[in-house]
Amino acid sequence: MTPPGAIELLDRYNVSRESRQKIETYVKLLLTWQQRINLIGPATVASLWDRHICDSLQLLPLMPKDIRAIAELGSGAGIPGLVLAMASGLQAHLYESNGKKAAFLREAARQTGTEATVHNVRLETLSAKTDLPKVQCVVARALAPLPLLLDYAEPFLASGALGLFHKGQDVDAELTEATKYWRIGLTTHASQCDSRGVILEIREATRV
């Protein structure tokens, strides 16, 4: 049974009945796999809906209007990338180097009927690839400091994708460091789930 707080969250972001069923199936599967592999921080299991699902859904209003596909870097448990795909019907490309986590993502996509391709590769290899999928948005959460994150995301940003990146209380220091190497066009949004967090909406990032 979906907890009341979760229902309010799904209502807030106008998640359809079909998508709710997918997300509920995903949550049950994640909790089962969490007992075997560390998909989310153990201390955050009790706040799975308030923190993790909310962190994903809050990106929905920020995504491009003409969006068809997204890429997620360092997907892990598929938060936010796979959850966004379930909530919106988008195609997702999930990049995850850990084989066990990649296996979870594939099983979660299969059980929820979500259109997702899992790429079990290291992010350092993306810049050399010539066959990257066309996406309109690239997302990442708790992955790397901003200068390195922009290195990973560059192939997608350079082809016109919007970047939506979760950041914490050290965001100002990361931005200061990143501007030594990058010219960045961005908007900062306060997190709806974490009073110390922000979402960086990156429209442009070119090397200095």
Q: pLDDT (tens digit, 9 = 90+) per residue, 82-105?
A: 999 999 999 999 999 999 999 999
- Please tell me the predicted confidence (pLDDT) of residue 129: 87
The total domain count for the chain is 1
Q: What is the pTM of this model?
A: 0.95
C-alpha to C-alpha distance for 172 and 113, rounded to whole angstroms: 39
CATH number of the domain to which 23 belongs: 3.40.50.150
Q: Is 78 exposed, middle or buried (0-12, 13-18, 19+ CB in 10 A)?
A: buried
Full domain range(s) for residue 91: 4-207
pLDDT in tens, 52-84: 999 999 999 999 999 999 999 999 999 999 999
Contacts with 145 (C-beta within 8 Å, 6 or more apart), sequence order? 174, 177
